[in-house]
A and B are shown apart, each in its own frame.
Chain A
Amino acid sequence: MKKKFNSLKEFYSYQSNNTIMKSKILVGYGSCGIAAGADKVYDTFESEIIKRSLKDIELIKVGCLGLCFSEPNVEIIINGLPDILYGKVDEKFAVRIIDEHIINKNIINHNLYDKPYIDLFNNKES
Protein backbone atom coordinates (compact mmCIF):
# COMPACT_ATOMS: atom_id res chain seq x y z
CA MET A 1 0.00 0.00 0.00
CA LYS A 2 2.97 2.29 0.51
CA LYS A 3 2.91 5.00 -2.00
CA LYS A 4 4.64 8.22 -2.67
CA PHE A 5 2.87 11.02 -4.43
CA ASN A 6 5.40 12.61 -6.72
CA SER A 7 3.07 15.25 -8.05
CA LEU A 8 -0.23 16.92 -7.39
CA LYS A 9 -1.64 15.11 -10.37
CA GLU A 10 -0.81 11.77 -8.86
CA PHE A 11 -2.49 12.83 -5.66
CA TYR A 12 -5.68 13.94 -7.36
CA SER A 13 -5.98 10.80 -9.45
CA TYR A 14 -5.64 8.65 -6.37
CA GLN A 15 -8.75 6.96 -5.04
CA SER A 16 -8.56 5.80 -1.51
CA ASN A 17 -9.44 2.14 -1.27
CA ASN A 18 -11.05 2.70 2.08
CA THR A 19 -14.49 3.16 0.65
CA ILE A 20 -15.45 -0.46 0.14
CA MET A 21 -18.54 -1.16 2.18
CA LYS A 22 -17.61 -3.66 4.82
CA SER A 23 -19.05 -4.19 8.25
CA LYS A 24 -16.98 -2.39 10.80
CA ILE A 25 -16.22 -2.69 14.48
CA LEU A 26 -14.77 0.56 15.80
CA VAL A 27 -13.17 0.31 19.21
CA GLY A 28 -12.50 3.62 21.01
CA TYR A 29 -8.80 3.33 21.64
CA GLY A 30 -7.72 6.58 23.21
CA SER A 31 -5.95 6.80 26.56
CA CYS A 32 -9.12 6.79 28.59
CA GLY A 33 -10.67 4.00 26.54
CA ILE A 34 -7.61 1.88 27.17
CA ALA A 35 -7.67 2.78 30.85
CA ALA A 36 -11.25 1.55 30.99
CA GLY A 37 -10.34 -1.74 29.30
CA ALA A 38 -10.55 -1.12 25.53
CA ASP A 39 -7.39 -3.14 24.98
CA LYS A 40 -9.00 -6.29 26.37
CA VAL A 41 -12.17 -5.64 24.40
CA TYR A 42 -10.17 -5.19 21.20
CA ASP A 43 -8.28 -8.43 21.83
CA THR A 44 -11.55 -10.26 22.41
CA PHE A 45 -12.97 -9.04 19.10
CA GLU A 46 -9.78 -9.97 17.33
CA SER A 47 -9.68 -13.52 18.65
CA GLU A 48 -13.42 -14.07 18.11
CA ILE A 49 -13.15 -12.93 14.50
CA ILE A 50 -10.32 -15.37 13.92
CA LYS A 51 -12.01 -18.16 15.86
CA ARG A 52 -15.17 -17.94 13.77
CA SER A 53 -13.34 -17.09 10.56
CA LEU A 54 -15.57 -14.07 10.04
CA LYS A 55 -15.07 -12.46 6.63
CA ASP A 56 -15.75 -8.97 5.40
CA ILE A 57 -15.48 -7.42 8.77
CA GLU A 58 -13.04 -4.75 9.67
CA LEU A 59 -11.83 -4.26 13.24
CA ILE A 60 -10.47 -0.76 13.73
CA LYS A 61 -8.88 1.09 16.62
CA VAL A 62 -10.19 4.63 16.60
CA GLY A 63 -9.61 7.72 18.71
CA CYS A 64 -11.83 9.20 21.33
CA LEU A 65 -15.50 9.95 20.68
CA GLY A 66 -15.50 12.11 23.76
CA LEU A 67 -17.80 9.88 25.77
CA CYS A 68 -15.37 9.20 28.56
CA PHE A 69 -18.15 8.31 31.00
CA SER A 70 -19.22 5.29 28.98
CA GLU A 71 -15.81 3.92 27.93
CA PRO A 72 -14.95 1.48 26.54
CA ASN A 73 -17.10 2.45 23.57
CA VAL A 74 -17.66 0.27 20.53
CA GLU A 75 -19.48 1.27 17.38
CA ILE A 76 -20.91 -1.31 15.01
CA ILE A 77 -21.52 -0.35 11.41
CA ILE A 78 -23.43 -2.86 9.32
CA ASN A 79 -25.02 -2.14 5.99
CA GLY A 80 -28.79 -1.97 6.38
CA LEU A 81 -28.84 -1.44 10.12
CA PRO A 82 -28.42 1.90 11.88
CA ASP A 83 -24.92 2.54 13.20
CA ILE A 84 -25.00 1.45 16.80
CA LEU A 85 -22.85 2.66 19.63
CA TYR A 86 -22.45 0.49 22.70
CA GLY A 87 -20.91 1.86 25.88
CA LYS A 88 -19.31 0.17 28.88
CA VAL A 89 -18.35 -2.85 26.81
CA ASP A 90 -16.41 -5.61 28.52
CA GLU A 91 -15.01 -8.87 27.19
CA LYS A 92 -18.20 -10.83 27.79
CA PHE A 93 -20.31 -8.20 26.10
CA ALA A 94 -17.90 -8.15 23.16
CA VAL A 95 -18.59 -11.83 22.56
CA ARG A 96 -22.32 -11.14 22.71
CA ILE A 97 -21.91 -8.35 20.16
CA ILE A 98 -20.24 -10.78 17.77
CA ASP A 99 -22.88 -13.47 18.30
CA GLU A 100 -26.01 -11.40 18.31
CA HIS A 101 -25.28 -8.18 16.46
CA ILE A 102 -22.62 -9.11 13.92
CA ILE A 103 -23.71 -12.65 13.11
CA ASN A 104 -27.46 -12.60 13.76
CA LYS A 105 -27.98 -8.91 12.99
CA ASN A 106 -29.90 -8.41 16.21
CA ILE A 107 -29.18 -5.19 18.02
CA ILE A 108 -28.59 -5.88 21.70
CA ASN A 109 -30.89 -4.04 24.07
CA HIS A 110 -28.15 -3.08 26.47
CA ASN A 111 -25.99 0.02 26.93
CA LEU A 112 -26.90 1.64 23.64
CA TYR A 113 -25.73 5.24 23.46
CA ASP A 114 -26.64 8.22 21.37
CA LYS A 115 -23.87 9.28 19.07
CA PRO A 116 -22.50 12.73 19.80
CA TYR A 117 -21.57 13.84 16.33
CA ILE A 118 -22.65 14.73 12.89
CA ASP A 119 -20.28 13.35 10.33
CA LEU A 120 -18.97 16.37 8.50
CA PHE A 121 -17.86 14.59 5.35
CA ASN A 122 -20.17 11.67 5.12
CA ASN A 123 -23.45 13.06 6.26
CA LYS A 124 -25.75 10.11 6.29
CA GLU A 125 -28.90 12.21 6.32
CA SER A 126 -30.57 11.29 3.09
Chain B
Amino acid sequence: MEDNNLNYIENAIFEGVEDIKLSEELMEHIEKWKDKPGNLIMILHRVQQIFGYIPLNVAVKIAKELNIHLAKIYGVITFYHFFKTEKPGRHKISICMGTACYLKGAEKISDELQELLGIEIGQTTKDGLFTLETVRCIGCCGLAPVMTIDDEVYGNLKPEDIAGIISKYTNIKTGV
Protein backbone atom coordinates (compact mmCIF):
# COMPACT_ATOMS: atom_id res chain seq x y z
CA MET B 1 0.00 0.00 0.00
CA GLU B 2 2.58 2.48 1.18
CA ASP B 3 4.68 2.16 -1.97
CA ASN B 4 1.69 2.48 -4.20
CA ASN B 5 0.71 5.67 -2.53
CA LEU B 6 4.16 7.09 -2.96
CA ASN B 7 4.10 6.21 -6.63
CA TYR B 8 0.79 7.86 -6.83
CA ILE B 9 2.08 11.29 -5.91
CA GLU B 10 5.45 10.96 -7.47
CA ASN B 11 3.93 10.04 -10.78
CA ALA B 12 1.73 13.01 -10.60
CA ILE B 13 4.43 15.43 -9.73
CA PHE B 14 7.35 14.19 -11.79
CA GLU B 15 5.97 12.50 -14.83
CA GLY B 16 2.94 14.58 -15.40
CA VAL B 17 -0.37 12.89 -16.01
CA GLU B 18 -2.56 12.40 -18.98
CA ASP B 19 -5.12 15.12 -19.14
CA ILE B 20 -8.72 14.05 -18.73
CA LYS B 21 -11.87 15.83 -19.69
CA LEU B 22 -14.39 15.49 -16.89
CA SER B 23 -17.99 14.77 -17.75
CA GLU B 24 -20.41 17.65 -17.68
CA GLU B 25 -22.25 16.10 -14.79
CA LEU B 26 -19.11 15.95 -12.68
CA MET B 27 -18.13 19.49 -13.63
CA GLU B 28 -21.57 20.65 -12.56
CA HIS B 29 -21.14 18.92 -9.25
CA ILE B 30 -17.74 20.53 -8.74
CA GLU B 31 -19.17 23.90 -9.73
CA LYS B 32 -21.98 23.49 -7.22
CA TRP B 33 -19.57 22.73 -4.39
CA LYS B 34 -16.66 24.90 -5.47
CA ASP B 35 -17.30 27.82 -3.17
CA LYS B 36 -18.60 25.90 -0.22
CA PRO B 37 -16.15 25.38 2.58
CA GLY B 38 -15.35 21.74 3.27
CA ASN B 39 -16.24 20.67 -0.25
CA LEU B 40 -13.38 18.27 -1.00
CA ILE B 41 -14.81 15.12 0.56
CA MET B 42 -18.19 15.57 -1.09
CA ILE B 43 -16.51 16.01 -4.48
CA LEU B 44 -14.33 12.95 -3.97
CA HIS B 45 -17.42 10.93 -3.11
CA ARG B 46 -18.93 11.79 -6.47
CA VAL B 47 -15.70 10.97 -8.29
CA GLN B 48 -15.55 7.57 -6.65
CA GLN B 49 -19.21 6.98 -7.42
CA ILE B 50 -18.50 7.57 -11.10
CA PHE B 51 -15.12 5.86 -11.51
CA GLY B 52 -15.17 3.34 -8.68
CA TYR B 53 -11.97 4.90 -7.38
CA ILE B 54 -10.12 8.21 -7.50
CA PRO B 55 -8.03 8.16 -10.68
CA LEU B 56 -4.85 10.15 -10.47
CA ASN B 57 -5.60 12.41 -13.41
CA VAL B 58 -9.01 13.27 -11.97
CA ALA B 59 -7.37 14.16 -8.66
CA VAL B 60 -4.96 16.44 -10.49
CA LYS B 61 -7.85 18.07 -12.28
CA ILE B 62 -9.74 18.65 -9.06
CA ALA B 63 -6.68 20.15 -7.44
CA LYS B 64 -6.60 22.66 -10.29
CA GLU B 65 -10.31 23.36 -10.18
CA LEU B 66 -10.33 23.94 -6.44
CA ASN B 67 -6.96 25.58 -6.47
CA ILE B 68 -5.51 23.34 -3.77
CA HIS B 69 -2.38 21.21 -3.55
CA LEU B 70 -2.54 17.66 -4.80
CA ALA B 71 -0.91 16.71 -1.51
CA LYS B 72 -4.01 17.87 0.31
CA ILE B 73 -6.19 15.60 -1.80
CA TYR B 74 -3.73 12.78 -1.30
CA GLY B 75 -3.83 13.37 2.44
CA VAL B 76 -7.59 13.12 2.53
CA ILE B 77 -7.82 10.07 0.26
CA THR B 78 -5.34 8.12 2.31
CA PHE B 79 -6.93 9.04 5.61
CA TYR B 80 -10.37 7.72 4.73
CA HIS B 81 -10.70 3.98 4.11
CA PHE B 82 -13.63 4.57 1.80
CA PHE B 83 -11.57 6.22 -0.92
CA LYS B 84 -9.55 3.98 -3.23
CA THR B 85 -6.62 4.82 -5.45
CA GLU B 86 -6.76 1.66 -7.49
CA LYS B 87 -9.29 0.58 -10.04
CA PRO B 88 -11.56 -2.04 -8.48
CA GLY B 89 -12.79 -5.21 -10.14
CA ARG B 90 -16.12 -5.44 -11.89
CA HIS B 91 -17.76 -6.87 -8.78
CA LYS B 92 -16.98 -5.72 -5.29
CA ILE B 93 -17.21 -8.42 -2.65
CA SER B 94 -17.34 -7.03 0.88
CA ILE B 95 -17.11 -9.42 3.79
CA CYS B 96 -18.52 -8.05 7.01
CA MET B 97 -16.01 -8.17 9.83
CA GLY B 98 -18.26 -6.47 12.36
CA THR B 99 -18.46 -8.06 15.79
CA ALA B 100 -21.63 -10.06 15.21
CA CYS B 101 -20.32 -11.50 11.96
CA TYR B 102 -16.90 -12.16 13.43
CA LEU B 103 -18.40 -14.16 16.30
CA LYS B 104 -20.49 -16.17 13.88
CA GLY B 105 -17.60 -17.24 11.73
CA ALA B 106 -16.84 -14.43 9.27
CA GLU B 107 -13.21 -15.48 9.25
CA LYS B 108 -14.07 -18.84 7.76
CA ILE B 109 -16.06 -17.09 5.04
CA SER B 110 -13.15 -14.79 4.39
CA ASP B 111 -10.69 -17.71 4.22
CA GLU B 112 -12.94 -19.53 1.79
CA LEU B 113 -13.25 -16.50 -0.48
CA GLN B 114 -9.53 -15.84 -0.49
CA GLU B 115 -8.82 -19.45 -1.29
CA LEU B 116 -11.46 -19.62 -3.99
CA LEU B 117 -10.48 -16.41 -5.74
CA GLY B 118 -6.77 -16.81 -5.11
CA ILE B 119 -6.42 -13.26 -3.80
CA GLU B 120 -6.07 -11.58 -0.44
CA ILE B 121 -8.24 -8.93 1.17
CA GLY B 122 -7.76 -5.65 -0.67
CA GLN B 123 -6.75 -7.29 -3.95
CA THR B 124 -8.43 -7.70 -7.32
CA THR B 125 -8.47 -10.91 -9.33
CA LYS B 126 -6.25 -11.01 -12.42
CA ASP B 127 -9.24 -11.09 -14.75
CA GLY B 128 -10.51 -7.89 -13.11
CA LEU B 129 -13.77 -9.55 -12.14
CA PHE B 130 -13.68 -9.39 -8.35
CA THR B 131 -12.26 -7.13 -5.67
CA LEU B 132 -12.25 -8.48 -2.14
CA GLU B 133 -12.78 -6.10 0.78
CA THR B 134 -13.87 -6.15 4.37
CA VAL B 135 -16.44 -3.83 5.92
CA ARG B 136 -17.44 -3.14 9.50
CA CYS B 137 -21.09 -3.98 10.02
CA ILE B 138 -23.60 -3.27 7.35
CA GLY B 139 -26.42 -3.43 9.85
CA CYS B 140 -27.68 -6.89 8.98
CA CYS B 141 -26.25 -8.50 12.12
CA GLY B 142 -29.40 -10.57 12.44
CA LEU B 143 -28.31 -12.42 9.31
CA ALA B 144 -24.67 -12.81 10.38
CA PRO B 145 -22.31 -13.73 8.88
CA VAL B 146 -22.99 -11.61 5.82
CA MET B 147 -21.23 -10.39 2.73
CA THR B 148 -22.29 -8.13 -0.09
CA ILE B 149 -21.52 -8.47 -3.75
CA ASP B 150 -22.16 -5.07 -5.31
CA ASP B 151 -25.54 -4.15 -3.82
CA GLU B 152 -26.77 -7.66 -3.11
CA VAL B 153 -26.59 -8.89 0.49
CA TYR B 154 -25.96 -12.56 1.25
CA GLY B 155 -26.70 -13.62 4.81
CA ASN B 156 -26.46 -16.67 7.09
CA LEU B 157 -23.44 -17.78 5.08
CA LYS B 158 -21.61 -21.04 5.42
CA PRO B 159 -18.23 -21.66 3.79
CA GLU B 160 -19.77 -24.26 1.50
CA ASP B 161 -22.25 -21.70 0.08
CA ILE B 162 -19.54 -19.45 -1.28
CA ALA B 163 -18.58 -21.34 -4.42
CA GLY B 164 -22.19 -21.41 -5.60
CA ILE B 165 -22.68 -17.69 -5.02
CA ILE B 166 -19.46 -16.76 -6.81
CA SER B 167 -20.32 -18.95 -9.78
CA LYS B 168 -23.42 -16.83 -10.39
CA TYR B 169 -21.12 -13.94 -11.20
CA THR B 170 -18.49 -15.83 -13.17
CA ASN B 171 -21.22 -17.34 -15.32
CA ILE B 172 -22.46 -13.91 -16.24
CA LYS B 173 -19.01 -13.19 -17.55
CA THR B 174 -18.79 -16.25 -19.79
CA GLY B 175 -22.31 -15.56 -20.96
CA VAL B 176 -21.34 -12.12 -22.28
A23 nearest CB across to chain B (Å): 28
Q: B residues bordering A, Cβ < 8 Å?
A: 138-143, 146, 153, 155
Q: A residues bordering B, Cβ < 8 Å?
A: 31-32, 34-36, 68-69, 71
- A68 B142 Cβ-Cβ under 8 A: yes
Within 8 Å CB of A68, what residues of B?
Answer: 140-143
B136 nearest CB across to chain A (Å): 15
Within 8 Å CB of A32, what residues of B?
Answer: 139-143
In the complex, residue of chain B having the shortest beta-carbon distance to the beta carbon of A31: B139
In the complex, residue of chain B having the shortest beta-carbon distance to the beta carbon of A69: B142
> In the complex, A42→B108 CA distance in Å?
33
In the complex, residue of chain B having the shortest beta-carbon distance to the beta carbon of A71: B142
- B143 A36 Cβ-Cβ under 8 A: yes
> In the complex, A124→B142 CA distance in Å?
29
In the complex, residue of chain B having the shortest beta-carbon distance to the beta carbon of A66: B142
> In the complex, A36→B142 CA distance in Å?
10
Within 8 Å CB of A36, what residues of B?
Answer: 140, 143, 155
In the complex, residue of chain A having the shortest beta-carbon distance to the beta carbon of B138: A31
B117 nearest CB across to chain A (Å): 22
A6 nearest CB across to chain B (Å): 29
> In the complex, A36→B153 CA distance in Å?
8
Within 8 Å CB of A31, what residues of B?
Answer: 138-140, 153
> In the complex, A35→B155 CA distance in Å?
8
Within 8 Å CB of A35, what residues of B?
Answer: 140, 143, 146, 153, 155
A22 nearest CB across to chain B (Å): 30
Q: A31-B138, A36-B140 are in contact. List 19 more A-B contacts (CB 8 A).
A: A31-B139, A31-B153, A32-B140, A32-B141, A32-B142, A32-B143, A34-B153, A35-B140, A35-B143, A35-B146, A35-B155, A36-B155, A68-B140, A68-B141, A68-B142, A68-B143, A69-B142, A71-B142, A71-B143
A87 nearest CB across to chain B (Å): 11
| Top-6 shortest CB links A-B | A68-B142, A35-B153, A32-B140, A35-B140, A69-B142, A31-B139
Count chain B CB atoms within 10 A of each CB in A34, A35, A36 and give the residue with the most: A35
A36 nearest CB across to chain B (Å): 6
What are 25 of the A-B contact pairs (CB < 8 Å)? A31-B138, A31-B139, A31-B140, A31-B153, A32-B139, A32-B140, A32-B141, A32-B142, A32-B143, A34-B153, A35-B140, A35-B143, A35-B146, A35-B153, A35-B155, A36-B140, A36-B143, A36-B155, A68-B140, A68-B141, A68-B142, A68-B143, A69-B142, A71-B142, A71-B143
> In the complex, A68→B137 CA distance in Å?
14
Within 8 Å CB of B143, what residues of A?
Answer: 32, 35-36, 68, 71
